[in-house]
Amino acid sequence: MGINETGVSRRSFITGAAAAGVLATLGLAGCTPQDKQTASAATSGSDTKWDEECDVLVVGSGYTGLAAALEAKNAGADVKVIEKTARVGGNSALAAGDFAVCNSSVQKREGVQDSVEQYVDDMMVAGLHLNDKEKCRVIAEKSNETWEWTIEMGATWAKNDNDEYFLYPYGGHTVMRSIAQGDGGGANVTGPFAEKLKGLGVEVETKRMLTELVKDANGRVIGAIVHDKPSGNDVESGTPVAIKANKAVVLTTGGFGRDLAFRQAQDPRLDDSVDCTNQEGATAESLRASVAAGAMAVHTDWIQLLPFMSPDEQGYGVAAFYTDGQASYAPTLDVATGKRIVNELTDRKRYADAILKTGQPCVQITCKKALYDGGSGLEGALKAGITTEFSSIEEAAEHYGMPVDAVKEEIARYNTFVANKLDEDFKKPIPDDAQTIDEPPFYGVRLWPKVHHCMGGVKTDLECRVVDMDLQVIPGLYAAGEAVGGIHGACRLGSCATADCLVNGRIAGQNAAKEQGA
């Protein structure tokens, strides 16, 4: 379950007392993977010879960056989008991509009663009330108009046999509100968005990594130093290019889940024995550059683990496309005891913590007739070898080294909960269409959490403007999506990242385009 090396070194030491003090709050004073100039301060505009110029520089090409770029371009700004990896889309292109939408037409068709208040409350409960409540409210209020906007921009979403959009069950949500994404996941959004931008004359420039922000004498961010064609995540490789941003720089660089040294500085438990779902570019250099430019960083030690991942494949893999949907319908069992350990529809933190507490991978068991959505994702999971088919419960228990009698008793007990639509042990809501697990073929898959989402990042106001240590706006600098901290508190609800990234990406792009510049 080890994580691949990120290519980030520890060879440089921080200089500059002010930056060292700030970076010490991130657990990084004295040992970080960036060059000395970046660590100590943002580059001065008066010392910079510009190589390229634009109005709005968007850093990152996932949901957030593409949404920001579309809005800024549609507002008349000259937009440049850079992406550090060779592939457009970031983590978003790999994600399942479902979208938590409040008061959607899909909910109304299905008779689901929802409200902004309930959406916000669900986020706050999962986040242990550490969330920025007003930002949660913005996401809830703007989620539906943003989902409809994605369709206008060419994004596609899954449809059922009746050619209708449909809702997908997610843990931690008190009502069904997550609009399902189809085969291809988040790429069904990032691909069309990138094509839309291309049609507007903006092509994402890949293999360009942000290393420094440039400020003028008044403290305004007026551009950035990026490294063209870097070697992996090495901030000292590649050719430096100075890009002037006449209006603003928008940071949409995601989290730092693949930055082993950085994430372990935040949470020492997350060493190389803990795998990660993120793409290789999810590292912390843009966060370091932001802090060096004076930005406040918050909640960097709250790092979410995705509970329903398989230890039998690397990275995100294909497990979640099967196991996530089955959580409403199937039990998760402790290998040592054969007993259930959790409400499988709780939030991700509680689910992951319950699995980790057992000290070894747990097992999700179900059967063909009990599968959600006819077994969406099952074929891929079987083909990948992470899910196994069995002719009996006994065979499944023996395969995973579980006490056979205990497993049989637990499945029988779970079946009574399904029949009565009442979970007496963990209070999991039992779906109306749930079926008992009692006919072959049976299916089993091991579950073990992986690093997935960083709740921490730079602090912003409601307009997506980055603020400094005095809570004052840093002119010319915006951020949105996973690059921002404080929105989700201790734990992000599934499908709320899509909402956060798209809603706030749009806000950042709209506001960046309105800037008057220096």
- Cβ-contact 296, 471 below 8 angstroms: yes
Question: pLDDT per position in the chain (518 positions), as tens?
Answer: 332 223 332 222 222 333 444 455 454 443 444 333 333 357 766 688 999 999 999 999 999 999 999 999 999 999 999 999 999 999 999 999 999 999 999 999 999 999 999 999 999 999 999 999 999 999 999 999 999 999 999 999 999 989 999 998 899 999 999 999 988 899 999 999 999 999 999 999 999 999 999 999 999 999 999 999 888 878 788 899 999 999 999 999 999 999 999 999 999 999 999 999 999 999 999 999 999 999 999 999 999 999 999 999 999 999 988 999 899 999 999 999 999 999 999 999 999 999 999 999 999 999 999 998 878 889 999 999 999 999 999 999 999 999 999 999 999 999 999 999 999 999 999 999 999 999 999 999 999 999 999 999 999 999 999 999 999 999 999 999 999 999 999 999 999 999 999 999 999 999 999 999 76
In the chain, count H helices and then E strands. 15, 20
Q: How far apart are CA 191 and CA 347, in angstroms?
A: 29
Quick one: how far is CA 244 from the chain centroid?
A: 29
Q: Which two tokens stand for residue 69?
A: 């770029």
Give the pLDDT score at 20: 42
Q: DSSP readout, 39-86?
A: HH-PEEGGG---SEEEEEEEE--SHHHHHHHHHHHHTT--EEEEESSS
Q: Which two tokens stand for residue 302?
A: 């709250």
Torsion of CA 167, 172, 175, 181, to 10 degrees: -10
Residue linked to tokens 């929105």: 487
- Cβ-contact 410, 419 below 8 angstroms: no
Give the pLDDT score at 169: 86
Largest Cα–Cα distance in the chain? 75
Which residue from 516, 485, 517, 54 is spatially nearest to 284, judged by alpha carbons? Answer: 485
Which residue from 252, 298, 257 is spatially nearest to 130, judged by alpha carbons? Answer: 298
The neighbour count for residue 473, using CB atoms within 10 Å, is 14
Q: Which two tokens stand for residue 315?
A: 């990275």
Half-sphere exposure of 489 (CA within 13 A, CB side): 22
Report whether the peptide linkage leading into residue 441 is cis, meaning its omega lies within 30 degrees of zero: yes
Model pTM?
Answer: 0.89
Tell me the three state secondary structure of residue 465: strand
First to last CA, the chain: 49
Residue 44: beta bridge partners? 215
Give the pLDDT score at 232: 80
Catalytic residues: 348
* Strand segments (E) across 84-153: 99-100
Structural domains in the chain, CATH included, are: 35-92+192-303+480-514 (3.50.50.60), 93-186 (no CATH), 308-448 (3.90.700.10)
Q: How far apart are CA 438 and CA 453, in angstroms?
A: 36
Calculate ∠ Cα 484-74-151, nearest 5°.
75
Tell me the three state secondary structure of residue 359: coil
Give the pLDDT score at 16: 33
**Strand pairing category for 450-454 and 303-306:** antiparallel
| Amino acid occupying residue 70 | L
